[in-house]
Chains A and B, each alone.
Chain A
Amino acid sequence: MISINKQKFLAELGRLLTFMSEEDRQEALTLYAKMFDDVEDEQALLQSLLSPTRQAVIIARAYDANARKLQARAKARRDEDEEDDNTPDFVLAILHVYEECVPLLPEEEVTEEDSVMANQFSLFEDDGRPTEESVYEETFVLHETPEDPLPPDEGEEALPEEGEALSPAPETEAAAETAEESDEVDAFIANFSIQDNEIDEAPAKSTPLVLEERRVDSVDEEEEVRALVEDLLDEAEEDVVLVRKPRVVLLVLFVLLALPLTLLAVGLLLLPTLLSLVLAAVMIAAGCAGLIAAFGGFPVLADILVVLGCAIIALALGLLLLWLFIWFVGTAIGGLIRGVIRLGGSWCYKEVAA
């Protein structure tokens, strides 16, 4: 088994994500690096991620290069102060991987004190549950300050703010209570909201079984992934459209000079070409005549052998001259014309991005 670590994983992943724009690629790699920072057991995370190739195809499936280009252009046109609320699909895909592989709250930290009664659960319903984007912001964006890295269990402390913002319940139950009691309720709500999140994550805890199945299929998927990534790479290359714009003055001058010179050179080359063709025809005709004569008109075997030998030599020379004619036409004359056209293309045209 090939041992792999975080750096190798990220390096391989970075190599596979070259179909993305540089900005998106860096963002994806940053998210994966954060993922590694947020877990204690790096090897367990690597096992959960399976392989860089698999992660590359997950991103590739969620990544639309054209759409991202349009988004980037639109974003560039907007004011810099204006925030972009649209989280890219590939980021959501990475977030989904993050949720599967890095639970927000470790299982051993769930205690009986955090368990919630049914009536308290109804206070928040679905509104208190974090969406994928909010989790993304809390998990990655809040952690991006390098001087204040938050481990996953500390990151959960960010959730009480959400609980505070979404807590109309203390108004009904603790309106008459003191401010301290209200804080206690908020703290409880914060705990509750985390537990709710933990409940959402519960199905993800069963991922080892799913991952086992994925490992079985991983060999087949590797080839699919490679093909998909190669297709995306090809599409990315095709996206760069270059348009050839003529330099008109140079083009006219080139045509005026190159056309007569090329015709003269072609005419000169036609002489040996036609000569080789004529000689080839004569040789082949003489060879065929010699073969016919050798088997038809000579009574002496020695004479037949001599004529046969001469006919074979004539046919061989005829074949050589015929090939020389083909070479003159295909390589010499054709190459001259192609070279002049290529030269004109390089001198008289410039390539600019469309």
Chain B
Amino acid sequence: MKSGWRVILSIVLIAALLGAVCVGVGLITGGEWARIYSTLDSRYHVAAYVDYVQQVIAVFQEALFSPAA
């Protein structure tokens, strides 16, 4: 199990570093979050999922923490 932890953490650290480098290089070379978000929204309807999650959280909050309950 200890060697498993070592292997997994090594892979995760290397992948995270690689991802961070990619993000950094992309942002430096002209990448924009707004453009990316709009592209993803048009393709995967990200805004709809975000709205759905926000509504679910609000319903749970009302059910659990409202004074009437």
Contacts and interface: CB of A to CB of B under 8 A. Distances in A.
Interface string B17-28: 011111111110
Nearest to A301: B29
Interface residues of A, number: 27
B31 A316 contact: no
A305 to B, nearest CB: 3
Contact of A305 (B8, B22, B40, B43): B22
B22 A309 contact: yes
Contacts of A301: 29
A330 B5 CA distance: 13
A306 B8 contact: no
A312 B19 contact: yes
Interface in B15-64: 15-16, 18-27, 29-33, 35-36, 39-40, 43-44
Nearest to A302: B31
Contacts of A319: 8, 11-12, 15
A307 B11 contact: no
B67 interface: no
A311 B22 CA distance: 10
A203 interface: no
B11 A316 contact: yes
Interface residues of B, number: 31
Contacts of A302: 26-27, 29-32
Contacts of B24: 309
A303 interface: yes
A35 B56 CA distance: 94
Contacts of B29: 301-302, 305
Interface stretch (A3-11, A43-51, A292-300): A292-300
B32 to A, nearest CB: 7
B39 A313 contact: no
A290 B13 CA distance: 19
B35 A293 contact: no
A211 interface: no
A331 interface: yes
B8 A303 contact: no
A273 B21 CA distance: 31
Given A303-B32, A323-B4, A308 B15 contact: no
A297 B42 CA distance: 10
Contacts of A300: 30-31, 35
Contacts of A316: 11-13, 15-16, 19
B22 A317 contact: no
B1 interface: yes
A298 B39 CA distance: 7
A297 B16 contact: no
Contacts of A306: 22-23, 26-27, 31, 33, 36
Nearest to A324: B8
A291 B21 CA distance: 16
B18 A312 contact: yes
Contact of A320 (B8, B26, B27, B44): B8
Nearest to B8: A323
Interface in A64-123: none
A315 interface: yes
B64 to A, nearest CB: 17
Contacts of B32: 302-303
B13 to A, nearest CB: 8
A293 B40 CA distance: 8
B18 A303 contact: no
Given A305-B31, A307-B40, 12 more contacts: A293-B44, A300-B35, A302-B27, A302-B32, A305-B22, A308-B26, A309-B18, A311-B19, A312-B15, A313-B19, A317-B16, A319-B15
Interface of A: 289, 293, 297-298, 300-313, 315-317, 319-320, 323, 327, 330-331
